[in-house]
Every structure is written in C-alpha cells, then in structure tokens.
Amino acid sequence: MPKSARVPLQLDTFLPYRLSVLSNTVSTAIAGAYHERFGLSIPEWRVLCVLAMTPDLSAAEVAHRTAMDKVAVSRATTSLLKMRRIERRIAKSDRRRSVLRLSKAGEAVYAEVAPFALAYERDLLQPLDERERDSLDRLLRILLGRATEMGPATRA
C-alpha cells in the first residue's frame, strides 16, 4: 500500500464534512419550523424565495440558482402548484417555454416566512461581530467560486 494511502482522514477537521454538518444542522433546525408554521419543505421554501426575487424563471433556471437537482425542484414545484402558491405560465418571449411565479397566496406566505428566516439568520450570526460576519461572507464567496471553478472531484 502506498504511504499516501495510510494518511488518515480526520472528519472533524475535514472542511467539506464540517460544511456539510453545519448545513445539515441549520437546515434541520429551520426545516421543522418551515413545515410546522408554513407547511413548506426546504426545497419548497427555496423555490418560493428565488421566485420572489426573480419571477418568471423556468424550473431549470430555479434549479441552477438554488444549486438543487432538477428532481428536487420538480417535486417542490409540483407541490407548490398544488398548494396554489406558485403559477405556471407560458413565457411571452418564447411560447415553447413555461415560467413560474408566485401567486397571491405564495406572496402572502413569502411575506410571513422571509422575516422568520431573517430572524433565524440573525440569531445564528449573533456570536459574530461585524468584521467576522464580513469575513465569513467573503470566505464563503471565495470558497463557492473555487468549488465552482474546480467542478467535480476527479483526482484519486
């Protein structure tokens, strides 16, 4: 066995693992509240939020903006359509393309959920001072850009 293969991987210090644990912990904590208070799953909330900021996107565009897979976006979209929180229309610029937007009911839900989500974020970031928050934001942007640039891991 090559010497490099014997190097142990310490999960508790491995950045991808730590980011995943943080993401899962935060998502799980807020997911229960989204579901209990608003009847929304995390993918449904993400779709609502993207459409609130940028209406008239296709499902593929929503998937791209949220970094969710197309199946998750499709399920969330189907559910939101059934709940009448979003509407599907034919794009004016291209009659072959359908686009999504919030319905009046979706706008009302978004108006309630957004302040709740922002309060959760505020509470989560409370231990950090302004400089640390700015640094965290900058570091996350850098890491996201680098991960996007690198693409899928291919080295063994």
- In a domain? residue 90: yes
- Asked if 81 and 88 touch (Cβ cutoff 8 Å), the reply is yes
- In a domain? residue 66: yes
- In a domain? residue 15: no
Give dist(CA 105, CA 28) in Å, integer.
25
Mean of the per-residue pLDDT values of the chain: 91
- In a domain? residue 16: no
- In a domain? residue 96: yes
Q: Please, which residues have CB within 8 angstroms of residue 70's CB and are 6 or more apart in sequence?
A: 59, 60, 63
Q: Indicate the number of domains in the chain.
A: 1
Interval 7-18: pLDDT, tens? 888 999 999 999
> At which residue do the structure tokens 């014997």 appear?
6
Q: Which two tokens stand for residue 50?
A: 């993207």
- In a domain? residue 146: no
- In a domain? residue 38: yes
- In a domain? residue 140: no
Residue 10 backbone dihedrals phi, psi, to 5 degrees: -90, 100
- The strand pairing partners of 98, in sequence order, are 90
What amino acid occupies position 40?
L
User: ∠ at Cα 85 (80, 87), nearest 5°?
Assistant: 85
Interval 93-107: pLDDT, tens? 777 788 999 999 999
Q: Whole domain around residue 104: which residue ranges?
A: 28-124
Q: What is the CATH number of the domain that holds 112?
A: 1.10.10.10
pLDDT values of the chain reduced to their tens digit, one per residue, 156 residues:
565 567 888 999 999 999 999 999 998 888 888 888 889 998 999 999 999 999 999 999 999 999 899 999 999 999 999 999 999 998 777 777 889 999 999 999 999 999 998 999 999 999 999 999 999 999 999 999 999 899 887 765
- What burial letters (b/e) apply to 6-23, b meaning 16+ CB within 10 Å? eeeeeeeeeeeeeeeeee
Q: Based on C-alpha coordinates, what's the Rg of the chain? A: 19
